[in-house]
Amino acid sequence: MGLCDGRAVIVTGAGRGIGRAHALAFAAEGAAVVVNELDAEAGGQVVRDILAAGGRAVGNADDVADWEGAGRLVRTALESFGRLDVLVNNAGFVRDRMLAGMGEDEWDSVVRVHLKGHFAPLRHAVDHWRSESKAGRRPDARVINTTSGAGLMGSIGQANYVAAKAGIAGLTVIAAAELARYGVTVNAIAPAARTRMTEVAFADMMAVPESGFDAMAPENVSPLVVWLGSTQSGDVTGRVFEVEGGRVGVADGWQHGAVTDKGARWLPGE
């Protein structure tokens, strides 16, 4: 018995890196997987790998930040597997530049893929889950979003990426609160792992060690994501998990600080 037997999962950006690791890990635990990847060849290879291992998978090459494309992605799961239990929003890319030199397109493209690319599939999935709930078939559904340490703590030279990833963390919190009534939990991960994005920006840190534990292997992130996608995680929602190597932590988020109350309007010089 696998942890996700009988569940249908969408993983976006699943052709390489962390997304690929997620798709393979879900399939290994019994889930049927929609492998979303703009690069159809890369996505197709992941589908073939899952099928060769005896799993169930189909490919989808839609742009997750395109409204109609996100709708087709959700319908792919419903038409292929008859259900949708888990949405893993993972797709993204970077266009790093210092703020003083960043162009409008560099800002728009990164925010579009990360932030709208999370919202659009989520919104279409919610349509299905809400309908199921109202029909008396309460889902036991999961959403796992992907923010980053940069989105939580900031990263110089990545204003567009940081803004998008911080927005994803905020989206996670409010979506968890709003969707609980429909049987949907929403969490996020902030992973540190080797991808095409991080190999360039953090080459030394991401290098494969000659021996011992490879802390930056993307496969280290996926066990947490699979658990969050399983029926075992139903009491966990609205949280952001930091995961790197063998380390897993919970980000506390913004906290109210000390307050000084004058009891009247402050003057500028006070």
CATH 3.40.50.720 fits 8-250, yes or no: yes
Angle at 3 between CA 70 and CA 218, to 5 degrees: 65
**Confidence check: pLDDT of 124 > 60:** yes
Q: Which residue has the higher pLDDT, 153 or 45?
A: 45
Is 165 marked active-site? yes
pLDDT at 200: 53
Q: One of 80, 116, 133, 165 is an active-site residue; which one?
A: 165
Q: What's the mean pLDDT in 214-237?
A: 94
Is 134 marked active-site? no
The domain limits of the chain are: 8-250
Q: One of 80, 116, 133, 161 is an active-site residue; which one?
A: 161
For residues 85 and 72, what is the distance between their CA atoms, to the nearest angstrom? 16
Is 148 marked active-site? yes
Are residues 160 and 203 in contact, defined by beta-carbon separation less than 8 angstroms?
A: no
pTM: 0.92
Q: Which of 84-88, 112-116, 186-190, 256-260 has the lowest mean pLDDT?
A: 256-260
Q: One of 133, 148, 230, 233 is an active-site residue; which one?
A: 148
Q: What's the mean pLDDT in 165-182?
A: 98
